[in-house]
Structure 1
Amino acid sequence: MKKTVISAALAVGLATTPVWASEIIELKVLGQPGATGLIQQEKEKPFFENLAQSTGLPLEVNFKPLDTTGIKDVEELRTLKSGLFDIVSLRFSQVSRDEPTILGLDLVGLNPTYEAGLATTKAFGPVVDARLQERFNTKLLGIWPFGPQVLFCNSPITQLTDIKGLKVRVYDQNLAAVIDSVGGIPVPLSFGEVHQSLALGVVDCAITGPSSANSAGWPEVTTHVLPLGFQMAINGYGVNLNSWSKLNAEQQGTLEQAFSTLTDDIWQYSEELFEDAKRCNVGQEPCLYNNKFDLVEVPVTAADIALVKDAVKAISYPTWAEICDQSNPECSSDWRAALGARVGF
């Protein structure tokens, strides 16, 4: 009788043991587009290629950059929820139409510096994580920035308001509202479409980070850059909860620590790349990581800085809150509780 009870208990224990605890399993990872540049190439890609070895977890990682798959960046949350990939390097602005709460991390004017961006992610990141777990069966494993997003144009400008009447590439509805407020014509385009669109005159200007623009060759098809940061281009790593639940508690802790180390590294590297690319794009030294070009750097005026700073309360927050509250009734109240005091609400 005792032997039967022990056997039954052992069978139950085996049935509830996470699969990843004892078996090598393929981990399908969808990364950033390779064209976005050095963060993907020097940090993200090596991290996943060496993940099994660096953590000791029984993983076989299959890493694919987004631009090799035919999947659009706006589809990433749906792709992750479906289980097609176990981990996705989420482009937050691009997927925010599926979950507007995400955009609360990076409203135009909210994160003028890396320090401000880090404070924002710590304060509002848990709210976004809870929402993604609820709606998309996705847990956040880390949040990181590409860095301040600045303006590139293929015609002379002297200040931000000179974009009046010009077609400007944007990547989310919040940025579109701010560009529209100064008379620009916002044109939503994926990153991979921008170089050709600038070359053909489909758009006159476009916004992205200096290093991403450098890697994608935007200075080849533009003449002026206004280094005024609109957003920080916050991104994050999401894991499908079904995949996550196959890890035991110890393995989950190991993986979380690995992603924490990675994202800390990216925050520092992103700032180094930003400063280097700012110099490289306008032909200055030292130029260590990026290609050297000869764009004209447009001086940032006090009026430009004030316009973007004031956009949080005047444009970007109210525009976003109205949209977000329609799908998530607690969206704007959660944001105000986490960040409202910092911006003067």
Structure 2
Amino acid sequence: MLRSLLMTVCAVAPAVLPVQAVADTVTLRVLGQPSGSGLIAQQKELPYFEALAEKTGLDIKIEYLPVDVAGIPDTDGLRVLRSGLFDIVSIRGPQVSRDEPSVLGLDLIGQNTSFEAGRAHVAAFMPYVDSRLQSAFNAKLIGMWPAGPQVIFCKPEVNSLADLSGHKVRVGDQSAANFMAKLGATGISMPFGEVQQSLARGVVDCAITGPASANSGGWPEATTTVLPVPLQLAMNGYAINLRSLDKLSAEDQATLIAALEELTNEIWDFSEELYDDAMRCNTGATPCERGKPYSLTAAPVSDADLAAVSAAVTEISYPVWAEQCNAVAADCAETWQATVGALLAK
């Protein structure tokens, strides 16, 4: 009887072990950037997540889905994260700031007019935003990265910010809408995928985005001019549900976080490369290596326009944002002043 039982166990054991190994694999569902948003999503984010398990050696399975393919509004990124529907979300800063205003404090109009400034300001304020996401959305903010300097594309010819007066301008967030109002323009919010046709049909006269995104979206086909005054960097980032993170050991958590931090650093460098190349592509200059060549006119950038953008932080974007953020977290504006504000004052 004993011999028969041992033979049965030995016969069954090989079939049991693979089932246990499969059960140990942690599946992480990733909600990514929109599929048509540009080369950062296509050439950096998607390939990195597809290779993440092999790259890190972690026993994980990645299921990646672009936010537009998932049929989820990008404004719901933090809610989706909190619900646990997705484990990792590639959050779109301006869009999710409606649910968590502190995110917008990473990239107010006039705050990040260069990549160098953006890196410093994000590093200074991100710990606070992370603390807000952990308490309000049960999520850890791992890294933030820029889509690139946001500039203005117009169907009518423009030569300065003053020429925007009376025009309808597609904006990415309320900070930009407030700045447009100061210039006498009307800021209109709309999804990226609708902008090209809206420009062609005259629904909007101008629109704000990065040169690489504009190139990918075909905006130069419906516009004549680009005004390359950098307004902000359009920050995005990666956050993970804390319950999902706890499925991993402490060592594996550190490995995963380090990998996502590496991805954000790669995107910072790639974003800078894309900006320079896309500006050349959009205006018919060479070399144009990553985009489609167009023939937009690049309006001159005046000292007056640069000064107007820099002044917008203290005069327009910060006061409105501070009130909104303090309504959610009483220490929000105070923390921003002690971090980003202190750097801007230097």
| TM-score for both structures, normalised by structure 1 | 0.93
Matches for 1:121-200 after TM superposition, within 5 Å: 121-200=122-201
CA contact 1:20–1:246 (8 Å) conserved in 2: no
Quote how far apart the aligned CAs of 1:342 are: 2.3
SS at match of 1:36: coil
Give the corresponding residue for 2:58: 57
Give the corresponding residue for 1:318: 319
Q: Which amino acid aligns with 1:135?
A: A
Matches for 1:38-77 after TM superposition, within 5 Å: 38-77=39-78
Q: Percent identity?
A: 53
Which string of whole-angstrom CA distances, capped at 9 and with x for unpartnered residues, describes residues 209-266 of structure 1?
A: 0000100111111111001110101111010111011111100111111112111111
1:213 to 2:208 alignment:
no
Which string of whole-angstrom CA distances, capped at 9 and with x for unpartnered residues, describes residues 70-118 of structure 1?
A: 1111111111111110000000111101000110000100111100000
SS at match of 1:140: strand
Give the corresponding residue for 1:91: 92
Which string of whole-angstrom CA distances, capped at 9 and with x for unpartnered residues, describes residues 267-299 of structure 1?
A: 111000000001110000011111110111101
Q: Which amino acid aligns with 1:174?
A: S
CA contact 2:169–2:206 (8 Å) conserved in 1: yes
SS at match of 1:177: helix
Q: Which sections of structure 2, spanning at least 5 residues, go unmatched?
A: 1-19
| Runs (4+) off by over 3 Å | 19-22
Q: Which amino acid aligns with 1:283?
A: G
Higher Rg = 2
Q: Which amino acid aligns with 1:105?
A: L
Give the corresponding residue for 1:305: 306
CA contact 2:88–2:241 (8 Å) conserved in 1: yes
Q: Distance in 1 between matches of 2:48 and 2:21?
A: 19
- How many residues align? The count is 327
Give the corresponding residue for 1:28: 29
Q: Distance in 2 between matches of 1:260 and 1:28?
A: 18
Give the corresponding residue for 1:336: 337
Q: Distance in 2 between matches of 1:115 and 1:144?
A: 12
Quote how far apart the aligned CAs of 1:47 are: 0.6
| TM-score for both structures, normalised by structure 2 | 0.92
CA contact 1:276–1:287 (8 Å) conserved in 2: yes
- For the aligned residues, what is the CA RMSD? 1.4
